[in-house]
Structures are given as C-alpha cells and as structure tokens.
Structure 1
C-alpha cells in the first residue's frame, strides 16, 4: 500500500480556513467593547433625532390646526358679524336665534381640532380680538413653549 495514502491528513489540510486564520481565535475584549461603544453612540443619535422629529411634527400639527381654527373664526366673523363665544360655536352655531339664521348648515368646522399632543386649544376673546393658545410640549399653559396665535 502507498505510504502517502495511509497517513492521516493534518488539520490544516482538512480545514483550509483554519490555516488562513493562523493562531487567531476570535475578537479581543477591547475590540468587542469598541464595537459596542460605536453601536451605543449610533443608537443614541438615532433615538435623539427620532424624538426631535416627533416633537417638530407635533408642533407643526398644532400650528396647522390653529390656522384652521383661525380661518373658521374669520369666516364666522364675516357671516355672523361677531366673534364666536366658544370654539364649539364654529361647529354648532350661535345660541342667539338671529345669529343662528345666518349660520351655514355644515358649520365652519366639522370638529374642533386639538393640538399635536392631543390637548384642547384654548380660545379667549380680548376686546375686538382673540387668542388661540396651545400648552405646547410641556402641556402646561402660560410657559415659554406655548404656541400662540393672537389676532386684534
């Protein structure tokens, strides 16, 4: 029998990948920690940006809804010749019978929109003008982050 055929194959011949790897068995602890740190930084950056985008979107929704209410109030003023006492009057009509005759059947708003955080928009009349106010992201009225539309 041929001697070369009866010899067992060495580990490197049976597993060429083991030969290419050399003595290296895996990643060092330092390499793993470095990769983990990079992933944490990337994850934190993505999370921060997602939260910022959400806050900006809620603010945009609030401003759009306030513009919608502002337009409805102006249409009410033109048609009824006064400001509505409440935002509900934009949907339901005035309680005064003479003013109710001038109110369109569909109203000026189908529903009273809320702000981007799901809270009511505050409506106050001051003299010949009015103010619309959203509590903003902190959901507390009369703080620096309130969103205000004021018309005189």
Structure 2
C-alpha cells in the first residue's frame, strides 16, 4: 500500500516500476559489448608486443647468467668448455677435467623463452658464443625472431 502511494506521488505507473527492476535491456548489453570489443582491439596488440619484448629480454638475462657461469667454470678449470662439452659442462663434470667445482647453475640448464636449447660454441681462441635463435628457432630474423647473442 505504501509502495502504491510512493508510485502515485512520483508519478510512476506500476508497470514502469516493474520494468526498472528487471535488469538491462538487450540494447544496453550490446552497447557494453561493443565498447569492450573496441577496447580489446586497441589494447590487445600493445599487450602482445610487450609480451614479445619480455621474452627477448628474458633470453638476454639468461644468456648473461650463462656467461657468468662460464666465467666461473674458467676460473676453476682454466679454460672454457669445448664446443663438444657444451653448456652441459656447467651441470656435470666433463670427462676427467681437473678443478671442476660445479654445478655452476642452480636447477636445470635453462631453455630459451621459446623452449629451445641455447647454442654454445667455443672456437678455441679464448672466447665463446651463446645464442638463442629467437621465436622462429632459425638463424637470422627480425623483431622477436631475431637471434640473441652474448657478444654483439
């Protein structure tokens, strides 16, 4: 009874008040969905670009960690691992190497952010190279597919 009195004072018909309490109309929902779709179209590509950049940065950080671990290996053994010994020499003693005091990494030997093994080469001239082949897993490439190396 009091509800009907309030409706008369406010000038609302009983049907109008019932319509207001039912929820959103189809048009209102479609407008909200259209706005959300436009926002996703604007923000989505930027987020995906940042994700690709983050993977490249992660690979650079992992390569720097491997570089430091190889320097520790050299301090103990007196040389860098050969290409044949590879990065596995950081985890387990290669053959009958004297002075090995590893493992030089915690956990397992990391893979690059795209799930590929890092490539290691020691040409025997006192330097070495660590390479991630990027998102495509093939030499060369641009952007996220570009190779990432420990030495420029």
Above 0.5 in TM-score? yes
Q: Is the 8 A contact 1:65 1:113 kept in 2?
A: yes
Which deviates more, 45-54 or 124-133?
Answer: 45-54
- What is the CA-CA distance between 1:82 and the residue it aligns to? 0.8
Q: Aligned with 2:115: secondary structure?
A: coil
Structure 1 ranges of 4+ moved more than 4 A: 31-37
Task: Give me the whole-angstrom Cα distance separating, in 2, the residues matched to 1:36 and 1:150.
Answer: 49
Task: Give me the whole-angstrom Cα distance separating, in 1, the residues matched to 2:36 and 2:13.
Answer: 38
Contiguous gaps of at least 5 residues in structure 2: 1-7, 19-24
1:20-39 correspondence to structure 2 within 5 Å: 37-39=34-36
- What is the CA-CA distance between 1:123 and the residue it aligns to? 0.7
**CA RMSD in angstroms, aligned pairs only:** 3.0
- What is the CA-CA distance between 1:101 and the residue it aligns to? 3.0
Count of matched residue positions in the alignment of Structure 1 and Structure 2: 130
Q: Look up the match of 1:60.
A: 57
> Structure 1 residue 147 and structure 2 residue 152: aligned?
no
Q: Aligned with 2:50: secondary structure?
A: helix
Alpha-carbon distance change, 32 to 13 in structure 1, aligned in 2, over 3 angstroms: closer
**TM-score, normalised by the number of residues in structure 1:** 0.69
